[in-house]
Amino acid sequence: MAIENNTESWDYAPSLEGTSHIQLKKKYDLFIDGKWVKPKSGKYFASINPANEEVLAEVAHANKADVDLAVKAARKAYNNVWSKMAPSERAKYIYRIARLMQERAREFAVIESLDAGKTIRESRDIDVPLACNHFFYYAGWADKLEYAFPNRKVESLGVAGQIIPWNFPLLMAAWKIAPALATGNTVVLKPAETTSLTALKLAEIIEESGLPAGVVNIVTGFGDTGAAIVNHHDVNKIAFTGSTAVGKIIQKAIAGTHKKATLELGGKSANIIFDDAPIDQAVEGIVNGIFFNQGHVCCAGSRLFVQENIADKVIRKLKQRMDSLYVGNPLDKNTDIGAINSKEQLETINKYIQIGKNEGAEMYQPKCDIPKKGFYCAPTIFTNVAQSNVIAQEEIFGPVLTIQTFRTVDEVIQKANNSPYGLAAGVWTDKGSRIFNLTTKLRAGVIWANTYNKFDPTSPFGGYKESGFGREGGLHGLSGYVKLS
Ligand code: ADP
């Protein structure tokens, strides 16, 4: 069907995912040494639903003493149990965690949408299945490490301290925990302060799985809790996903220590459309790359480069598509753009939108009904953007896209690489040779061709430049957790 002249959008009846099947405690303690323990700090903080600002649960705020307890538990479990266990036995536990998660997938998806603001479509179809698949995938590697690293002696590192952000709370926990366990390490993990609940649910599953006490410890809290993990003398490895600013603090803190690190940081990824691209699919790819997840993806395709001779057509079609996007309740299956994760993040996004306007870029936002309560942002594009504009340089982490044009391949490579970041990129063209040319020249860890934002546990993910170092996922994801000799 030709959609070129179809400017109509139509209303759907709301289709809300139910919440009666989920179980949330009113108050969550810390999960240390296989038990739920009250924080020594005595402090708790509220985890709120960004879609309506209601409190979902109180969560413990771990201090240095709590982190110390967790690291001690992880060390004891490493020395006495986990490092001594046959790899095939370790695999069974990881597999069991995957199965239990799968059984409760619906509950995980709803809690993720409530706590993080992401649409139920995303959490149900992407985050939760991928998180389960990471556990399944790494369970398979646990007893095959000698094949992963042929002719090398493979040893685990010890205690891994893992700090994760709020954009993919459960998936990031799976990315971090599964390879660490498969390689024989024990874990202290800290979720982001605005999205602790699925990590705490995962702790319940871990408890249910019978995993030996102390192998995985979950401590909740803010930046100070993360810093206590980073600075703890008995942690062997830091795995961090988050902002470049905090990544730099962590790198300084561990410089000169024995700690190994992988850092997955910010991004300002280029999505490049050539004039021979399938335009309708490309427009859908742009929307998927920046709007469907509220732009809350570190690899979001936030800088669009369109070949000049098709720019008018692509922008016209993109605006039409934006007019039909639904912004609203994350639990409604029709919703395309859910809630922004926190008030602070919404303020940051709005600040950048204002900067874009002040810089003279031209803004377009569709008219959409935005709920009165909660944190929401309409999909936003900026045209007439200069390469030097702040909105084209800095990570916004919201549904905001800058659009620039180009004429030649060399020009777009130069423009796309002109960024302190190098996490991901997308290329849309009919020519295979052009794809291969660009994939060798774009300085980005992941490059999608004629698609965007596709993930798989077997594929490594990670950045260049200020987007960090180290790879997670796939065979490469094992390397960060082993010592080879
Ligand atoms: P974002 O901008 O995505 O919120 P942050 O880098 O601020 O990213 O946060 C990512 C994670 O890092 C969160 O779990 C947060 O609590 C934690 N964190 C924040 N500051 C520090 C710090 N100084 N040391 C260690 N972890 C930190």
CA distance 298 to 398: 10
- Contacts of residue 100, defined as CB under 8 A and 6 or more positions apart, other chains included, come to 205, 208, 209
47 and 178 in one domain?
yes
291 and 202 in one domain?
no
Q: Is 145 helix (H, G, I), strand (E, B) or coil?
A: helix
Residue 403's nearest CA partner among 324, 322, 342 is: 322
* 423 neighbors 303 (Cβ within 8 angstroms): no
43 and 167 in one domain?
yes
276 and 394 in one domain?
yes
Assigned token pair, 55: 């409190």
**pTM > 0.85: yes or no:** yes
- Contacts of residue 266, defined as CB under 8 A and 6 or more positions apart, other chains included, come to 243, 244, 298, 395, 397, 421, 423, 466, 467
The answer to the question of residue 151 being in a domain is yes
Q: What is the pLDDT of residues 230-283, one digit of tens each?
A: 999 999 999 999 999 999 999 999 999 999 999 999 899 999 999 999 999 999
Instruction: Determine the distance separating the centroid of ligand 1 and the alpha carbon of 223, expressed in angstroms.
Output: 5
Domain holding 371, by residue range, is 270-456
Q: What is the pLDDT of residues 344-382, one digit of tens each?
A: 999 999 999 999 999 999 999 999 889 999 999 999 999
Q: Is the CB of 249 under 6 A from ligand 1?
A: yes
> CA separation (Å) from 178 to 134, 162, 193, 322, 454?
7, 12, 21, 37, 20
215 and 80 in one domain?
yes
Q: Is the CB of 246 under 6 A from ligand 1?
A: yes
- DSSP letter for 325, please: -
Q: Is the CB of 67 under 6 A from ligand 1?
A: no
257 and 276 in one domain?
no
142 and 126 in one domain?
yes
Q: What residue ranges of the chain have pLDDT lower than 50?
A: 1-7
225 and 142 in one domain?
yes
- DSSP letter for 212, please: P
CA distance 289 to 369: 22
Q: Is the CB of 223 under 6 A from ligand 1?
A: yes
Closest Cα to atom 14 of ligand 1: 192
The answer to the question of residue 426 being in a domain is yes
Write out the catalytic residue numbers: 264, 298
* 207 neighbors 34 (Cβ within 8 angstroms): yes
- Contacts of residue 196, defined as CB under 8 A and 6 or more positions apart, other chains included, come to 28, 47, 59, 115, 169, 220
232 and 256 in one domain?
yes
Residue 1 confidence (pLDDT): 39
141 and 186 in one domain?
yes
Q: What is the pLDDT of residues 377-396, one digit of tens each?
A: 999 999 999 999 999 999 99
Residue 40 confidence (pLDDT): 97
User: How far, in whole angstroms, is CA 236 from its chain's centroid?
Assistant: 23
430 and 476 in one domain?
no
Closest Cα to atom 13 of ligand 1: 192
